[in-house]
């Protein structure tokens, strides 16, 4: 699944079969990324799209040595479920 990163709009997106999913973020401070919102069109739900967006966003954070905040409820739950994998980059 191709996840696109739009730095100008501060979001990761997936577009498939006319449906869109997005993971929005903010950069509230130097060295920090805050994942603020996740949205998945109904036509893409139940296919693991939100998980793929989460993994792409967290990989970006790790590659860029950013500490992660999770204002978004979905992202908070995702990193909690995968705590061992992402504990080192959590703010």
Cβ neighbours around 39 below 10 Å, total: 16
How far is the CA of 15 from the CAs of 5, 23, 60, in angstroms? 12, 12, 19
Q: Residue 44: which domain range? A: 4-89
Place of tokens 């998980």: 51
Distance CA 31, CA 48 (A): 28
Our count of domains for the chain comes to: 1
pLDDT tens digits, one per residue of 51-91: 999 999 999 999 999 999 999 999 999 999 999 999 999 99
- For the entire predicted model, the pTM comes to 0.94
What is the DSSP secondary structure assignment for residue 41, as one 8-state letter? -
* CATH code of the domain covering residue 28: 3.40.630.30
Asked if 57 contacts 70 with a C-beta cutoff of 8 angstroms, the reply is no
């Amino acid at each position: 699944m191709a996840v696109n990163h739009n730095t100008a709009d501060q979001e990761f997106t997936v577009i498939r079969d006319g449906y869109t999913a997005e993971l929005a973020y903010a950069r509230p401070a130097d060295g920090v990324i805050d994942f603020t919102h996740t949205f998945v069109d109904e036509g893409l739900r139940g296919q693991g799209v939100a998980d793929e967006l989460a993994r792409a966003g967290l990989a970006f954070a790790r590659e860029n040595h950013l500490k992660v905040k999770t204002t978004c409820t979905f992202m908070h739950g995702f990193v909690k479920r995968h705590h061992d994998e992402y504990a080192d980059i959590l703010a």
